[in-house]
Amino acid sequence: MAEAVRTARRVSALADVIEIRLDCIAEPAIPDFFSSLRCPLLFTNRPTWEGGRFSGQEGARVDCLMEAVSAGAAYVDLELQAPASSLMRLREAMAGQAARLILSRHDFAGTPPTRELFDWIHRMRECGADIGKIVTTAHDYHDVLRVLNLQEDCSALDFPLIAFCMGRAGLISRLATIELGGYMTYCAADGSEATAPGQIAVAEFRQICGLLQLQPEACQADSDE
């Protein structure tokens, strides 16, 4: 817990939202995050069956998310494949609270066909998600484009979507998504603490964003010469 709080405080000036991965903490003390941090917090308790580290009882897993909601979480992340009872319990706990529900779906092996990706989105909406999250593994640029193109349809549906790809081929999507309508992207606290393949450190991500903002002026200067 102490290391988790120190890490979160260290990067709080660089991040708009900090995700607390409860499944990566042996004995999480949720109130400590709220007493130590002032930025919006997103709580995730990822099970092993969706690439996380939580291997305990499902009820206990959801209990932690419900506690985070009561404490003032800005967001909680629940897997689209979670049992219906978990979704029901969490939605009941969120009634009248400020927290927003992210329903997420990850694919660590590849990127499904477009039709399957759309099925995930429709299920997220039907289940009452405030925000959807789709993260797949890209093997080439076709996979990347398939995921990024989801933003066009979600815009028409007025459904906020987090969507990008893991892996080397998907690295560009972590940046591109925020310019193409994506609700947010994810960065590591530093280079040694990535929680997914292809994730880059938040400080490096900020540097890249800064360089890209200057690029149009630089190109204009070159053309004038």
Asked whether 3 and 29 are in contact (CB, 8 A), the reply is: no
How far is residue 97's CA from residue 76's CA, in Å, rounded to a whole number?
Answer: 12
**According to the model, what pLDDT value does residue 45 have?**
98
pTM above 0.85, yes or no: yes
**According to the model, what pLDDT value does residue 225 have?**
44
Please tell me which residue in 122, 133, 139, 142 is annotated as part of the active site: 133
- Choices 3.20.20.70, 3.60.21.10, 3.40.50.2300, 1.20.58.100: CATH for 2-224: 3.20.20.70
Domain positions in the chain are 2-224
Q: What is the mean pLDDT of the chain?
A: 92
**According to the model, what pLDDT value does residue 195 have?**
64
Please tell me which residue in 106, 122, 139, 142 is annotated as part of the active site: 106
Asked whether 80 and 126 are in contact (CB, 8 A), the reply is: no
Known catalytic residue at 142:
no
Give the full edge-to-edge strand order of the sheet including 18-21: 18-21, 41-44, 75-79, 100-106, 131-137, 161-166
- pLDDT tens for residues 41-71? 999 999 999 999 999 999 999 999 999 999 9
The percent of residues above 70 in pLDDT, for the chain, comes to 92
Map residue 65 onto helix, strand or coil.
Answer: helix
